Amino acid sequence: MSGKDNNKRDRISVLSSHFSSSRPMASEKEAALAATPSDADAPTIFDKIINKEIPSTVVYEDDKVLAFRDITPQAPTHILIIPKVKDGLSGLSKAEERHFDILGRLLYTAKLIAKQEGLDDGFRIVINDGPKGCQSVYHIHVHLLGGRQMNWPAG
């Protein structure tokens, strides 16, 4: 089995073990969207990326934040910016006052990376939340998208 297959299998097994659903799952995204996370603190695929157990293309890292290229890019530049410590922030809807600093840091880091990536004509920031927000990984993350003309309204 190739390394790519191994990564995919890992992703499926992590997603499957953290979402509860009785219906068959056609894809990872559907698997995630079909159910709610069983535990806000449950590990996700992003923990494996943070711990370098699976590879990713890191574009920025400091002691609090990691940013890496999305495996399924929706634009020429598509980067995910995540806190290294989840601290209950499985999604934005779980934010508490104690998260002020990390939430600000995620957005400020997005601005730094946009500059680093040369997105001088603009970019888009997305935070999907919950099943209706199309969230599939329950470890808060900021999507930074750029390098093409964005459309509005978003789908």
Q: Does position 68 bind ligand 5GP by CB under 6 A? A: yes
- Out of 65, 79, 137, 145, point to the residue binding ligand 5GP (CB under 6 A): 137
Q: Does position 11 bind ligand 5GP by CB under 6 A? A: yes
**Neighbouring residues of 50: CB distance < 8 A, sequence distance ≥ 6:** 66, 82, 84
Phi then psi for residue 15, to 5 deg, are -60, -45
Q: Does position 71 bind ligand 5GP by CB under 6 A? A: yes
Minimum CB distance to ligand 5GP smaller for 45 or for 114: 45
| Choice among 18, 99, 141, 143 that is catalytic | 141
Bridge-partner residues for 81, per DSSP?
67, 142
Active site residue 18: no
- Out of 45, 89, 140, 142, point to the residue binding ligand 5GP (CB under 6 A): 45
Between the CA of residue 25 and those of 4, 9, 58, what are the distances in Å?
20, 14, 30
Q: Does position 75 bind ligand 5GP by CB under 6 A? A: no
Q: Name the token pair of 42.
A: 């449950």
Minimum CB distance to ligand 5GP smaller for 72 or for 97: 72
Q: Note if the bond before 73 is cis, omega within 30 degrees.
A: no
Question: Which of the residues are catalytic?
Answer: 141
